[in-house]
Chain A
Amino acid sequence: MLLFILKRLFISIPVIFILATLTFCIMRVTPGGPFDKDKAIPPEIKANIEAKYHLDKPTFINTPAFYKKKWIHVLTETQYFYYMKGLAQGDLGPSYKYLGRSVTDIILDSLPVSVELGFYAALILAAYKHNTWIDNAAMFTAISGITLPSFLVAALLIYIFSIKMAWLPAGLWDGGWEYKILPTIALGLRPVAIIARLMRTSMLDVIKADYVRTARAKGLNEVWVILKHVVKNSLIPVITISGPLLAGIITGSFVIEHVFAIPGIAKHFILAVTNRDYTLIMGVTLVYAVLLIIANILVDVFYALVDPRIKLS
């Protein structure tokens, strides 16, 4: 199994580089750059800024170097090469919006907050799975959890618990537990709902299977039938989806963090794009990619644990 994990991690390195390249291309194609503003900058000042961030270099291919026959510079004196070189050394570069702050710092400051919130939301998930008794009530929550967009859920929670009842703060992240309850519920509701629905459908399928009938015919205790034969076998689709779901929870939700003014990483997924903060866009995209890759590897490992027919190779 260790070999399998190592192999998967090794394969993911080129995946990350391809992803970085694609993101890089899409960003440069999008109109508007980090320093385009309504107040025009004199050309000499613009030149200084572009030089500082290597934006004065050609994007992919340095044609002037080609004519000067400096062959190596054709590929190395480019924005793409500078970025990739930094990336290979683990340097995500400076942000263009938060002048000079390193993208690594921004991510290290904001990711833990999102992870903390995601952890609480995941706990709700864990609490739920143990409770087959909630079924009917849960289905109501589940359906509303899927259909209600999270900004509405968040707004409703704020309206009821902060403005009307004044029990809990309407936002901020000041350390105390009272700040964590509403965003946790708002963030956790949707994944819980998705998993609950999926689990239910999957269990209904399995419960009709022949081996369940056999188990019952053998006279096994009903609880044992459900736990050992039904739940375990219906976990496969749930595990499949929980990987990406978990990565999503950990990186947080833009809406939730925005509405509750939580200093997490999720807002950078949107704001970095509106600011055309190239390096920050790359940074958060890569963080998300790495989390997804890890989550998917975990999913595969869990498959093997749940279903002995699946072999990791």
Chain B
Amino acid sequence: MKKYSWIAVILLIVGLMLYAKPWSKKSLPSNEFRFVIVSEPPTLDWSLATDNVSADIIFNLMEGLVQYDANLNVQPALAEKWDISKDGLHYTFYLRKDVTWSDGKPLTAQDFVDGWQRLLDPKTASEYAYFLFDVKNAQDYNSKKISDFNQVGVHAKDDHTLVIDLWHPASYFLTLHAFWATFPLRKDIVEKFGAPQWTEPQNIVTCGPFKLKAWEHDYKVVLEANPLYYGPKPKVQLATAYIINEDSTALSLYETGKVDLIRRIPPLLIAKYKNHPDHKNGPFLRGYYYGMNVLKKPFSDVRVRKAFSMAIDRTQLTTLLGGNQIPTTSWIPKGMQGYEPEIGLKFDLDKAKLLLAQAGYPNGAGFPQIKMAYDTRDDNKVIAESLQQQWKQNLNIELTIENQEWKVYIKQLQTDAPPLWRLGWGADFPDPDNFLNLFTSYSGNNLTRWKNKSYDALIEAGAKELDISKRLPIYHKAQKLLTEEEAPIIPLFIDAQNVLIKPYIHGYALNAMSINILKNVEIHK
């Protein structure tokens, strides 16, 4: 009898497994689009979300006053038209009258006011409240200097007219309304269920092309076509986002047909998939750069900074990465107004050596022992090693490399940055201000410690100028100052998107902001 006990145990296992979900091999409905997101969305509450994964879902549940087309031009969305006063201080948005929330209630201008009030409320503690700081009194309300929200420059004139007053003209202000933080909100729903429960599928009320059908935390988010959506209905009934942290797992699932789209290929595997028929590639408004701490020797000397920038052959880096990244010496990325590839310090060894000698380090002699830092990641390592080798070969300067875990790294950059370090910057909205503002003396993100009054003045002038033909020359000057004359940063390349998408999926367009728009997706198997 004992002899057969193991058979009994195995039968028990099989039995249990069958019992758990009998006959679960159901065939997938053909109008379900399955894609991968790289982590659990930290939140679906658009007043609080700050990350791309949450955005991947939110952009399909909700819309703003305006939206981007595939080329990132601003198009009407919930607002059918708008007026901007001549001085650029007053905006009037006229809402569409046919928009209803997913529970059937009509959308009103007050829903925007409610959304903004919640975003700016200090108790909400929203990180992105500062997106509205151009609005009159918004900052004071957020920092508790005033407590009456009526003083803030946003009002519902009637059910379909939203009026906004700014402190100062802001050329990028219109694009902010395509950004999730400014989306309208159902105050009654948030108050009824409280945060974060109001974003659970059974509670949430939205007005975009999809509704939230299910959210199995850490596993998947399921979207369902919203029958009440004002625009053309989505072509797929369901869109399922599987949460898969590990890129190689996502790749295996793609290869075995379990998902239809993956938007991140492991960096060092891109070269392998480059000629795959499913591979699609597009620009990405994200710059990759090395910054220098200009307060520390030797990079306090502008000649050393220039020499370092000129001694790099950037095409070597992009060849190593092999994902169609674009080498760049200027800072505004391709795909954004103001992109000018001619600006910046080009690869010029003779000049680099000369500058280094003038700075007192002929052929690298006497150059102090310094380290270059990066945050632990495969592609960062490849770049750092290539740079180390190029500077050794071209300038005869030996640098040590140091890598750190992301949080430790970012803390160190913010408190006491090493002489040379890497970072990237992705656009929050497709306007040159978002890229250039980064290096103003008052920007919390300027970790180079470089402060330049004329640069600050240019950026402020650019923000106040509403005429694009007058803005671009201003940004031209600013870029020259940043990447040629003063060179506190070494721009290296503009990132690219590399995705795999099944050939039977149509209507999924890549855009340079990597916004995940699903409403036009069609499946033709």
Residues of A near any B CB (own CB < 8 A) = 30-33, 35-42, 44-45, 47-49, 51-52, 97-101, 106, 109-110, 120, 123-124, 126-127, 130-131, 155, 158, 162-163, 166, 169-178, 180, 258-261, 263, 267, 271, 274-276
Contact = CB atoms under 8 A, between A and B. Distances in A.
Interface stretch (B244-252, B360-368, B452-460, B514-522): B244-252
B242 to A, nearest CB: 7
B373 to A, nearest CB: 14
A171 B17 CA distance: 17
B25 A130 contact: no
Given A127-B10, A261-B245, A31 B412 contact: yes
A42 B130 contact: yes
B244 A171 contact: yes
Nearest to B216: A263
Contacts of B253: 169-172, 261
6 contacts: A44-B143, A47-B143, A52-B123, A100-B48, A155-B248, A162-B256
A35 B42 CA distance: 13
A56 to B, nearest CB: 11
A225 to B, nearest CB: 15
A158 to B, nearest CB: 6
A32 B445 contact: no
B40 interface: yes
Given A120-B13, A176-B24, A36 B126 contact: no
Interface stretch (B1-9, B97-105, B298-306, B494-502): B1-9
Interface string B396-428: 000000000111101110100000000110000
B249 A174 contact: no
A283 to B, nearest CB: 14
B276 interface: no
A100 B199 CA distance: 11
A175 B20 contact: yes
B130 A45 contact: yes
A259 B45 CA distance: 29
**Interface of chain A, helix or strand or loop or mixed?**
loop
Contact of B142 (A44, A51, A173): A44
Contacts of B50: 37, 39
Interface in B419-457: 423-424, 443-445
B24 A100 contact: no
B129 A40 contact: no
B42 A176 contact: no
A97 B21 contact: no
B84 interface: no
B407 A41 contact: no
Contacts of A100: 43, 45, 48, 195-196
Given A173-B219, A174-B24, A276-B407, 14 more contacts: A36-B410, A40-B414, A40-B444, A48-B125, A98-B40, A98-B42, A98-B43, A99-B48, A123-B9, A123-B12, A166-B256, A169-B256, A180-B20, A267-B218
A130 B6 contact: yes
A106 B130 contact: no
B18 interface: yes
B139 A36 contact: no
Nearest to A119: B16
A33 to B, nearest CB: 8
Given A44-B142, A120-B13, A170 B258 contact: yes
Contacts of B21: 175-177
A158 B252 contact: yes
**For B18, B218, B246, B253, which residue has the most chain A Cβ atoms within 10 angstroms?**
B218
Contacts of A123: 9, 12-13, 16
Contacts of A172: 242, 253, 258
A127 B4 CA distance: 11
Contacts of A174: 24
Minimum-distance CB pairs A-B, first 6: A32-B407, A40-B444, A176-B24, A177-B17, A44-B143, A100-B196
A163 B444 contact: no
Contact of A180 (B2, B17, B252): B17
A259 B40 contact: no
B127 A45 contact: yes
Contact of A261 (B123, B129, B246): B246
Nearest to B17: A177
A97 B133 CA distance: 25
B25 A32 contact: no
Contacts of A267: 218, 245
A155 to B, nearest CB: 8
Contacts of A36: 407, 410-411, 414
A261 B24 CA distance: 19
Contacts of A47: 143
Residue of B10, B143, B219 with highest tally of chain A CB at under 10 A: B219
B268 to A, nearest CB: 16
Max chain A Cβ within 10 angstroms of own Cβ: one of B246, B250, B411? B246
Nearest to B54: A99
A48 to B, nearest CB: 4
A98 B255 CA distance: 30
Interface string B130-146: 10010000010011000
A174 B222 CA distance: 13
A131 B258 contact: no
B525 interface: no
Nearest to B51: A37
Interface in B4-39: 5-6, 9-10, 12-14, 16-18, 20-21, 24-25, 39
B341 interface: no
B192 interface: no
A35 B16 CA distance: 44
- Residue from A32, A40, A99, A158 having most chain B Cβ neighbours under 10 A: A99
